Amino acid sequence: MESSNIVSQITEVIIDETASRCFYKIRCNLTPSDYKFQIKLINLPDDFLYSYQVYTHTPKIRWDNSPHFPDISTFPHHFHNSDEKVKISLLKGENLIDDLQIILANISVFLTGELLK
């Protein structure tokens, strides 16, 4: 993320680790824009949950793997587009670096004004 030309500054980092779970949250500024980017990772003994979100005062686009859209072919992985529609996701949740590269490429497209459908 530090080598990305759209991430200008990490503004908040939360690390909360216990014996039974780990919670990580990172917030970044995106340039050139007023958007922020938030990453939430939750590692549980039997599950790994993630959420990557671009937002201002409200969410704009988001990728996550909360298991609440079982009809999506990439379940539980899904994408909330800028029209608030839920779509398939290219994320697998297996390799954070690969997923982050996909996300940053899509955010670059979003920032140029092309809405992700």
Residue 1 lies in a domain: no
- Name the domain count of the chain: 1
Range of the domain at 99: 7-111
Residue 61 lies in a domain: yes
Residue 28 lies in a domain: yes
Residue 76 lies in a domain: yes
Run of H or E residues at 109: helix 96-111
| Calpha distance 103→32 (Å, rounded) | 17
Residue 83 lies in a domain: yes
pLDDT single digits (tens) 20-76: 999 999 999 998 788 999 999 999 999 999 999 999 989 999 999 999 999 999 999
Residue 117 lies in a domain: no
pTM confidence score: 0.87
Distance, C-alpha 99 to centroid of its chain? 9
Residue 49 lies in a domain: yes
Note whether 12 and 25 are within 8 A (CB): yes
Q: Who's near 1: CB < 8 A, 6+ residues apart?
A: 7, 10, 28, 100, 104
